[in-house]
């Protein structure tokens, strides 16, 4: 049985579907049932599922865009508590289970060109996401520490930016892929003539369709052995190519305006996948077209319900949500 934290969030929903599709038993819970920022509740849920063979730890308190700059203290505090409580509950109640924690590519040093696993903490983090990114480094350090001190089997997987159905599409909190899907679909539905994109569109980033990620993740769960692993295509595409793909999928025919005055970060960034390929013989699809098509279709179908949906309504809650 696989226990999933953050099972009700974006990645968690897709992971559930994949586990169900393969007929693998799993357990999920929401933050209303067990709040992982509270030690006793983290202990309670791990005790309840103490027979788990594996734990996939996705839970975290995350949003993109302006959110990290507005709530660094809250993100720092909440995520550190979640990770510390999960690690401690794991070793107390389910030490026989392997644990796979979800990392984030934003925890890599911002000055690094080739993002290889052994250099995850070899430099400073970009200023825009530091609070959240440091808690992801804390999780990685914590896994190593629990492995070393208690002889557990914990690993850490790092995806690139994921996109897909159930993503966050709100411009204030979404990653660039979700935000652009939100912008283009929104422009069509609201009859807007143009879509503005920050930067000149030339910067290269890495994207992965969430279903491809969870498929790889479920394959990796029984195979990972106390390691850090990039799970990614290992290739990037330009923001311009991403925008074009989304515009085509959504049928947008208006103008795309690139606002080069906005700072959008380093020129090029993607994960090194040598280990994934050589040790696991796995390659992931860098072609986003099919996934973008499904995502645009899904968001269009749910547009009326989701167009004003905020990831964190009003004040951010001091509870676990998910990547």
CB 206 within 8 A of CB 232: yes
CB 265 within 8 A of CB 193: no
CA–CA separation, 169 and 295 (whole Å): 10
172 binds other proteins (CB under 8 A): no
Within positions 133 to 162, which residues make up the interface with other proteins, using CB under 8 A? 134, 137-138, 141-142, 144-146, 148-150
80 binds other proteins (CB under 8 A): yes
CA–CA separation, 145 and 321 (whole Å): 24
Shortest Å distance, C-beta 70 to other proteins = 7
CA–CA separation, 159 and 91 (whole Å): 25
Our CB check for other proteins shows the closer of 150 and 301 to be 150
CB 228 within 8 A of CB 275: no
84 binds other proteins (CB under 8 A): yes
116 binds other proteins (CB under 8 A): no
Choose the stretch contacting other proteins; rule: CB under 8 A; options: 100-108, 121-129, 205-213, 222-230. Answer: 121-129
Residue at token pair 């226990």: 3
Sequence-ordered list of residues with C-beta below 8 angstroms from that of 243, at least 6 positions apart, any chain: 180, 184, 195, 197, 201, 256
Contact mark string toward other proteins, 50..69, x via CB under 8 A: -------------------x
87 binds other proteins (CB under 8 A): yes
82 binds other proteins (CB under 8 A): no
State whether the Cα torsion 66-140-9-270 is positive or negative: positive
76 binds other proteins (CB under 8 A): yes
Shortest Å distance, C-beta 304 to other proteins = 34
123 binds other proteins (CB under 8 A): yes
CA–CA separation, 90 and 183 (whole Å): 41
User: 3-class SS at 260?
Assistant: coil
Tokens of 17: 């579907």
Shortest Å distance, C-beta 65 to other proteins = 16
90 binds other proteins (CB under 8 A): no
Shortest Å distance, C-beta 148 to other proteins = 5
Residues contributing to the site for other proteins (CB under 8 A): 69-77, 80-81, 84, 87-88, 91, 109, 121-125, 130-131, 134, 137-138, 141-142, 144-146, 148-150
């Amino acid at each position: 049985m696989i226990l999933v934290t953050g099972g009700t969030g974006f990645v968690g929903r897709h992971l559930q579907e994949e586990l169900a599709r393969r007929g693998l038993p799993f357990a999920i819970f929401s933050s209303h049932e067990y709040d992982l920022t509270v030690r006793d509740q983290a202990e309670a849920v791990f005790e309840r599922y103490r027979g788990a063979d594996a734990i996939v730890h996705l839970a975290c308190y995350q949003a993109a865009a302006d959110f990290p700059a507005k709530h660094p203290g809250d993100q720092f505090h909440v995520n550190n508590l979640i990770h510390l409580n999960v690690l401690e509950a794991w070793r107390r109640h389910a030490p026989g289970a392997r644990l796979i924690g979800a990392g984030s590519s934003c925890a890599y040093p911002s000055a690094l060109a080739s993002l290889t696993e052994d250099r995850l903490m070899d430099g400073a983090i970009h200023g825009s996401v530091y609070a959240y990114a440091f808690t992801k480094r804390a999780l990685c350090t914590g896994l190593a520490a629990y492995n070393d001190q208690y002889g557990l089997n914990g690993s850490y997987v790092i995806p690139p930016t994921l996109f897909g159905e159930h993503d966050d599409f709100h411009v204030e909190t979404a990653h660039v892929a979700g935000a652009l899907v939100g912008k283009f679909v929104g422009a069509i539905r609201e009859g807007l003539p143009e879509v503005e994109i920050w930067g000149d569109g030339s910067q290269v980033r890495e994207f992965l369709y969430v279903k491809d990620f969870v498929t790889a993740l479920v394959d990796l769960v029984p195979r990972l052995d106390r390691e850090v692993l990039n799970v990614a295509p290992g290739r990037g595409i330009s923001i311009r190519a991403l925008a074009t793909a989304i515009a085509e999928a959504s049928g947008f025919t208006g103008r795309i305006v690139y606002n080069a005055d906005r700072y959008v970060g380093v020129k090029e960034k993607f994960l090194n996948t040598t280990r994934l390929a050589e040790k696991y013989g796995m390659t992931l699809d860098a072609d986003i077209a099919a996934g973008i098509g499904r995502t645009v279709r899904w968001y269009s179908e749910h547009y009326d319900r989701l167009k004003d949906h905020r990831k964190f309504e009003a004040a951010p809650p001091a509870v676990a949500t998910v990547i």
